[in-house]
Structure 1
Amino acid sequence: MHRYSIVVFLGAFLLFQVQPLIAKVILPWFGGTAAVWNTCMMFFQIVLLLGYLYSHGLRMFTTPRNSWIVHSVVLLLALFALPVLPSESLKPDSYESLSGEIVKVLALSVGIPFFILATTGPLIQAWQSVSHGNETKAEVSDSPYRLYALSNIGSLLALISYPFLVEPNLRLQNQSWIWSGLFTLFVVMCIFGGAQVRGFSSWQAPAAKDNPRADASPVPSISVGRMLLWLLLAMIPSVMLLATTNLMCQEIASVPFLWILPLALYLISFIICFEKPGWYHRGLFVPLLLFGVIAGVAVAMLNAYASAGLQVLLLSFSLFACGMTCHGELERMKPHVSSLTLFYLFVSLGGSLGGIFVVLIAPRIFNGFAEFQLALMGALLLGIAVPCFSKSISGGRKIGIGFASLIIGGLALSSFLGTLNRSGIDRVLLDGRNEYGIFSVEKDGDRRVFISGTIDHGSQIVMPQPSLEPHSYYSDGSGFSICVKTQRDLASDESPKRSGLKIGVLGLGIGSMLSWAEADDEFVFYEINPRVESIAREWFTFLPTYESQCEVVIGDGRIRLEKETSRGIDRQFDLLAIDAFSSDSIPVHLLTDECFDVYEKHLRHDGILLFHVSNRFIDLKPVLFATAADRGLAATYVRHVNSDATSTRVSHWVLVTNEKVANHQRIRSAAEPYDLPVDAPRWSDDFASLAPVINWSFYVSWDRMIQKAEQNANNK
């Protein structure tokens, strides 16, 4: 038993340690979007299902001895897939199918080792069930499930250790080599640990034959309805997990901590329910589920106005309540040990279907993150229906719970329908979603606004006719206008006089920056989401008007610039602006020290790097000022307030350039005082901590919400 325990624990640890590792490596390749982690999760869930199918097949069609032989050969073959660090040649050229490209990279880099680890839990537990020898009836029944709980503990330890121990102290390449070494150890231990089943020609345990304490009664059959409940009780928390992660990362950042927090809560609910099933009390967790649904609906409705800390807290509570209820009921429906691999198979199938639904189906059928409310309603339905149909809840309490569920379910349904029907609102001209996020085009008085997630990402005055004048974030006095005017001054001072500027922009939006274009200027926009370009052309006039002066390159800006460098292309930008936010989510990979190397290769010697750092939750100034100082560059902070008849917009900018340009009169006169903190963080591709720069306070901006409601009322 101890030998099996070590193998199961190590396998589970490696299984979950490699997930954030590989996702962090490929995150910059795909724009740093929230969809990267969720697609990784879907892939891992599907491979986990394949691993369970493999284990179930060995259990059904081979003897214990032959299963050990087959699995030993497969384990040895997996060693040829090491190390797990993906090759640079796998970086994508096309961004039309984000999930397809991610799955391809994962399959070619980590697919085989992960598949092997996915087989460990059910197969080792099947081996253990035939080789336990002299265990009692209770041990015969429970010990495989205890191994399952042990594997969850190993998984949880892997997740918790990654953001706090592994990521801050080890480079990604070192992480890969250490993981590969531990995987080799796992292979050796698995082969030698499983060798004790060589003498068994049947999956019927000796205890079942010879031990009078063992249960000799016939195994009860399993109904289709029970298997369907297994599937649903596993699928709904999976949908909830990925939908919660989507909401967190869409509004803050796609970083390991915000990947791991929801997954850890999901796993904790599994561990509690399967290791300590007595801790799941329907009388406690059914009411908690009701409150969890309320909390989830509140975030879905108020996420544009709620603080990061409040959103994470409420989403975490909602996910945990959902997980505990569904997993608690799932544990109560677990079968006899002889049906162990079938049970795991359905649990894994439910998890995989949940991942497929969120990653592949939801972006194609929903315009918003409606799968979150859908999961809340599913959890509410199952979490209430299953206990109420049992005898554990009295008639009076059933009526009370049913009445409360009706009210709260109606609230969740209203939120769900509201997410679906936004395109029916007069002010909403376009409402859509793809793998990169949600977006809309809305009317706001005389303006037309492009919204990514919940944030205004560019607007144009269209009434009485389209205007090309700069306004909003890019109006006169903004960081962008100051950089453009400074570079025009520098160009006119050169001998011979240089005509026209070359300006690069990471993040297209609606092309608002073209409002500053003059006749000889050249603009190059790098945009990862192909849908954004079509929106900019169909609903706004900047791109069509300046068509001859601008180029739109589809793909992650950093990757495209790297590939241009490898092909010998030197853009020599006078100004390179980084404005590639999706909603309020920050593109961490565009702010690292290694990325500065990429930028500098495409800047003139007196060029300016401009970062638009307006954000509700995160203060990026310390990161950029610290990186600039380390590289011998000067950073300047510019704060701009733009007011019109309907609203006031404040934008924040950081300019990074050499000392000579930073001392230009235009930049000095616009600069706001800023003192770099002594402990300012430095971000690298290997580690970027949000902790020092994020505001975790708890609040709801009621003033903004009321102001927005009044604007919407005026626009009807």
Structure 2
Amino acid sequence: MTRNPRMLFTATILLGSFLLFLVQPMVARMALPRLGGAPNVWNSAMLVYQALLLGGYAYAHALGRLPLRRQAMIHVGVLLMAALTLPISLANLPASGPGNEVLWVPLLFLATIGPLFFAVSAQAPLMQRWFAARPDAGDPYALYAASNLGSFAGLIAYPLLAEPLLPLGWQSGAWAAGYAALILLVIVAGRTLPRAPADPAAAPAAPTGAPTAPDDAKEAIGAKRIALWLALAAVPSGLMLSTTTYLTTDIVAMPLLWVIPLGLYLLSFTISFAERRGAANLFSRHAPALVIGLGSMTMLLSANGSMAAAIVSILLLFAVAVALHARLYESRPAPSRLTLFYLVMSAGGALGGVLTALIAPAFFDWTWEHPLLIVAAALLVPLPPYARWTERLGLDPRRGRLVMAVLLAVGLGTIALLSNAVADTPRSDGLILGLTGLVAVIGLLVVRWRLAFGLLLALAMLSLGGMDAMRVSLSGDRSRSYFGIYTIRDIGSESRNLAHGTTLHGIQLREPGRELEPTSYYGRSSGVGLALSPGERLLGPNANVGIVGLGVGTLACYRQPGQSWTFYEIDPEVLSYSRSGKFTFVNRCAPDARMVIGDARIELAKAPAGTYDLLAIDAFSSDAVPLHLLTDEAIKVYLRALDRDGLLLIHISNRFIDLEPALGAAARANGLSAIVRLDRGAKSPLTESQWVAMARDPARLEALQAAGDAEWDAIDTSRSRQWTDDYASILPDIIWSKFL
């Protein structure tokens, strides 16, 4: 038996955690053709992973009661049993009914990856417990930092390496090879275990100077301490998911942005559980200032959907996660209670996931969970050294409380001034920033009174944007579904807008005589407008038109007599806006149009071959890219549904991704002719748009160009690798200049 196989246990933990978080985005990518790319799909996946992690930690805790060698034998057996589900492939479940996605999506992930994720998730606590059983082990908690470093590496490796370089089949095979290597490492680690009872509490203390948790086999762990562990784990977990929803709903719906909150969340454990405490202590000391400063700025910036707001939100998440996880580390028990500690911590993570991914969308019409979790973080952050400044000044407790009460009153008055400054027209940004800074300083002076500190932060956030959000909620002009948050905004008597987060989803003019005029991305000079306006001249008599993505129904008013129209819409909430009369395009222009609720790709596959003379694909949610609607398999579904002489129109307007190369590759692979229309210089109520037109016969595109007085450009079909369900990466097509 080697003297101190720390490297062996570290490598085993690193590999297990790497595989665990490499498989998360891989399975989400596999599910893309069936689920699409809505932010809540990722949150649902995270909820399942947190539940499986809790199960794995519970299994590790229960296993800890057995002798060490028996633990190793059982765990190797569990790993081998889970290996029977390899290679990883998506479970074949019946399609979800509309509105059941919140339960069906977690079930799909559970059936796909459940056994493997459960087995691997037990790695970190088991390896730490086995390591702690050695007489010369030292503090095992530092290995948890290595665990999360491996998790972070796995998560980042997927979008940067695995997805761009390997098709899904190869990804699954590589993961299986890594899993086999993990089993071998576990076997070797198990052979180093001493023939001793399971309880490592009898192990001698670590060398002098090594940071260790107190090792008392009979250490009392009461309900209050467990509740603290739960809260310290739940708030960062919930904030990680709420930040993901907040960013992709209200700031930037940029797909790669979804992994950043989880990556920083994992990285926070590496800092918080490290043996060297310098970085963790730095965050802990300044956590209150970061929470009240960044939390206030988040609300102030979010209304504009700017990149600055995204950066502030991400920094806030990281600061909170490091500070609360550092406090969690400082309250850790002796190694003999290690598995209980990780079990409770995992339960807290799962609790945060349930609150954010399941409960909040059911009860809130906006991302209210996000500011609430920021306030909860304010109540939990470690107190800084200056918290007891009144005592350092020599004030007795009674005078100290009086001074704090006066400061709280001044803070409340400052917030009242701040509310007036925010409501002023025109607004003075300098005054708003000054008053916000003053509230933050007062908050730090009363931080010892946690409730007062949390109250000042909550009221500041309400003043800096929360009240506006609350007024919209109370007006009934906002709704939330599994697929997004939608808000109706009336711009005086001129127009009514539907926003998805901060991204325009559709406009209807309210001026008499202009109510049915096409707007936003669908004006008469847009690609789809040029294709639909000629009617019978281009499409022939009694044309059959299919539209994927309803929005506010703007395209319905291109319908001409004799035509049959079908709309495909995944979200029933979107359909309700047209049917309730809040937007009247559909009711007035195409009242008898057929509405199909469900994923368009699945539903179109059920349509009779050659059904449509024109098929328009417009299923973008903000700037999120529906990869599963742009792959070769999806294009083949569209071509099957199209008549032999049919036209395929695809909307590719996007602020952050250049989708033209992918569509060019799709045209090349399917023998299609393709042209693109960029509607430059469009002015309100129109929006600049980019549409691609494809057809089997080049003559159809020539007729399209001749039918309207507008410029179309040829597409370069040689610039990109074709996207398929097995391979697709947006990384080469990101427009990086948009982030500068």
TM-score, structure 2 normalization: 0.82
Give the C-alpha shift of residue 693 in structure 1: 3.2
- Alpha-carbon displacement from aligned partner over 1:386-430 (angstroms, at most 9, x marks no partner): 7677899967999772358675553234457436513367xx552
- Residue 533, structure 1, aligned to residue 575, structure 2: yes
The whole-number CA distance in structure 1 between the counterparts of 2:620 and 2:116 is: 34
Paired residue for 1:708? Answer: none
Q: Does the alignment pair 1:593 with 2:589?
A: no
Q: Report the Cα distance in structure 2 between the residues aligned to 1:297 and 1:508, rounded to whole angstroms.
A: 36
Show the 5 A alignment for 1:81-230.
Answer: 81-87=85-91, 89-90=92-93, 92-130=95-133, 132-133=134-135, 135=136, 139-140=137-138, 142=139, 144-197=140-193, 199-204=195-200, 207-208=203-204, 219-230=218-229
The aligned residue for residue 57 of structure 2 is 52
1:358 shift after superposition: 1.1
Out of 639, 650, 656, the residue aligned to residue 679 of structure 2 is 639
Q: Within the alignment, does 1:438 sit opposite 2:437 as a pair?
A: no
Instruction: Determine the C-alpha separation between the residues in 1 that align with 2:444 and 2:235.
Output: 20
* Aligned twin of 2:470: 421
Q: Distance in 1 between matches of 2:153 and 2:737?
A: 25
What does 1:507-586 correspond to in 2, within 5 Å?
507-538=549-580, 539-545=582-588, 549-562=592-605, 564=606, 569-586=608-625
Q: Which amino acid aligns with 1:32?
A: G
Question: For the Cα contact (< 8 Å) 1:23–1:40, is it kept in 2?
Answer: yes
Unmatched segments (≥5 aa) in structure 2: 395-439, 448-452
Assess if the C-alpha contact under 8 Å between 2:539 and 2:614 holds in 1: no
Alpha-carbon contact 2:675-2:713 (below 8 Å) kept:
no
Distance 1:399 1:582, change over 3 A: closer
Distance 2:638 2:81 in 1: 42
2:427 matched residue in structure 1: none
**Aligned-partner residue type, residue 542 of structure 2:** G
Question: Does structure 1 conserve the Cα–Cα contact (< 8 Å) formed by 2:495 and 2:509?
Answer: yes
Q: Could you tell me how far 1:21 is from its partner in structure 2?
A: 0.5
Name the aligned partner's letter for residue 20 of structure 2: L
**Superposed, which structure 2 residues align to 1:493-512 within 5 Å?**
499-512=541-554
Q: For the structure 1 residues 616 and 687, does the alpha-carbon distance in structure 2 shift closer, same or farther, using more than 3 Å as the test?
A: closer
Amino acid at match of 1:611: I
Output the amino acid matched with 1:103: P
SS state at 1:671 partner? coil
Deviation at 1:483, TM superposition (A): 0.5
* Equivalent position SS for 2:689: strand
Q: CA deviation at 1:302?
A: 3.7
Q: Aligned partner of 1:613: which letter?
A: I
1:17 aligns with 2:60: no
Q: Name 2:400's counterpart in structure 1.
A: none
Where does 1:280-319 land on structure 2 (aligned, <5 Å)?
A: 280=279, 282=281, 285-287=284-286, 290-291=289-290, 294-295=293-294, 297-303=296-302, 305-308=304-307, 310-319=308-317
Match of 1:705 in 2: none
Contact 1:243 1:358 in 2 (8 A): yes
Give me the TM-score of the superposition, normalised by structure 1. Answer: 0.85
Q: Secondary structure at the match of 1:662?
A: helix
| Per-residue Cα deviation, 1:237-264 (whole angstroms, up to 9, x for no partner) | 1112112222333354463x32332222
Superposed, 1:226-237 pairs within 5 Å as 226-237=225-236
1:172 to partner: Cα distance = 0.6
What are the superposed Cα offsets for residues 125-149 of structure 1, whole Å, 9 maximum, x if unpaired?
A: 222222x13x1xxx43x1x212212
Counterpart-to-counterpart distance in 2, 1:398 and 1:314: 19
| Unmatched tracts of structure 1, length 5 or more | 493-498, 700-716
Distance 1:95 1:289, change over 3 A: farther
Q: How many residues align?
A: 674
* Matching residue of 2:242: 243
Amino-acid identity (%): 33
Change (3 A) 1:434 1:108: same
1:462–1:577 CA distance, 2 compared to 1 (3 A): same
Secondary structure of residue in 2 paired with 1:230:
helix
Kept after mapping to 2: 8 A contact 1:387/1:393: no
Distance 1:117 1:167 in 2: 22
Given that 1:289 and 1:383 are in contact with CA atoms closer than 8 Å, whether structure 2 keeps it comes out as: yes
Query: Residues 616 and 387 (structure 1 numbering): CA distance in 2 closer, same or farther, change over 3 Å?
Result: farther
Q: Structure 2 matches for 1:361-440, cutoff 5 A?
A: 361-383=359-381, 385=383, 401-402=444-445, 408-414=457-463, 417-418=466-467, 421-423=470-472, 429-440=476-487
TM-superposed CA distance for 1:58, in Å, is: 2.1
Q: 1:266 maps to what in 2?
A: 265
3-state SS, counterpart of residue 607 of structure 1: strand
Aligned residue type for 1:12: S
The Cα shift of 1:24 comes to 0.9
For 2:369, give the aligned amino acid.
E
Alignment partner of 1:28 is 2:71: no
Stretch deviating more after TM superposition (213-222 or 174-183): 213-222
Q: Deviations over 1:536-576 (max 9, x none)?
A: 201233434466642111111122223x16xxx21432221
CA distance in 2 between counterparts of 1:585 and 1:667 reads: 32
1:472 Cα deviation from its structure 2 partner = 4.2
Question: CA 1:44–1:345 in structure 2 vs 1: closer, same or farther (change >3 Å)?
Answer: same
Q: Residue 660 in 1 paired to residue 699 in 2?
A: yes
**Contact conserved, 1:234 with 1:347, CA < 8 A, in 2?**
yes
RMSD: 3.5
Post-superposition Cα deviations, 1:617-657, rounded to whole Å, max 9, x if no partner, equal 4443344345435544221213066656xx55433333233
Change beyond 3 A, Cα 1:457–1:160: closer
Task: Write the distance in 2 (CA, Å) between the matches of 1:472 and 1:267.
Answer: 40
